Amino acid sequence: MSENKHLDEQILPLLYGAQAETEKPIQDIEPDPLLFHQAVLNINGEMVPFTEEGLMDGKIRIPLPKTFHLMSPQNAAMKYPSERRPSIIYTNSSASINITFNETDYIVTEEGLEPFTIEMIQILRRTQPILQWFDHGISETRGKQQIGYCEFLVRALNVNLYNLMFFTEMEDKALLCSFNCTEEEMKHWQPIARELMNALVIGEAEEVREGQ
């Protein structure tokens, strides 16, 4: 099995599960470093509290909505039928917004992050029903972690879905993360998704959610 095919099999099941015009630029949204210093954010008229969570035995830290919960193994198996589904899936009450995390065995270094990102872009453009490609590149989180990302809109079964995939090196392997929501929810959650990516920290967490 080629490395490219091996990567295909690891990333495609992470995208958006079983939900599922001319390209135009979107408004550039500058990251707000104060965003998650607030305990509660007003998102589409709903007050959503955030808290920093330690995941994967404290290997990563990231702020998540307190109103989200871990998807049960039964629901995860239905929404992400592949055996390579994400190891951690946080979701809202209607399962229309999902944040996923997955450790892979795909070797990547910080220096290799750029070619890895290019390969991800090629795989996604080749395999996914992309309606609009928003952005991609290499960025640096506020914790000075190099991170690659791809941002796009795809056609799923009965809705269009916004996806932000971001990936980085963790212990010399690729850590794959994704945020997805419906196109209707994208207006309110796209800036939040970008901030989640910017706030990702690789390192020991002070507190680790029970069971992770």
- Superfamily of domain 3-202, CATH level 4: Mog1/PsbP, alpha/beta/alpha sandwich (3.40.1000.10)
> What pLDDT is recorded for position 156?
86
Q: Do 91 and 73 form a contact (C-beta atoms < 8 A)?
A: no
> What pLDDT is recorded for position 81?
74
* Residues listed for the chain: 212
Q: Do 156 and 5 form a contact (C-beta atoms < 8 A)?
A: no
d(CA 75, CA 86): 12
The alpha carbons of the chain give a radius of gyration, in whole angstroms, of 16
φ/ψ (deg, to 5) at 119: -65, -40
> What pLDDT is recorded for position 204?
58
Q: Do 138 and 110 form a contact (C-beta atoms < 8 A)?
A: no
The amino acid that residue 192 corresponds to is I
In DSSP notation, 42-73 reads EETTEEEEEEEEEETTTTEEEEEETT-EEPPH
> What pLDDT is recorded for position 118?
94
Q: Do 142 and 63 form a contact (C-beta atoms < 8 A)?
A: no
In DSSP notation, 182-203 reads EHHHHHHHHHHHHHHHHH-EES
Query: Is the CA virtual torsion 192, 94, 70, 153 positive or negative?
Result: negative
* Tokens found for residue 185: 């929810």
Q: Tens-digit pLDDT profile for the chain (212 aa)?
A: 455 555 666 555 555 554 433 333 333 334 454 455 557 888 988 899 999 999 999 999 999 999 999 999 888 888 887 777 889 999 999 999 999 999 999 999 999 999 999 999 999 999 999 999 999 999 999 889 999 999 999 998 889 999 999 999 999 999 999 999 999 999 999 999 999 999 999 985 444 444 44
> What pLDDT is recorded for position 92?
96
Domain parsing of the chain, residue ranges: 3-202
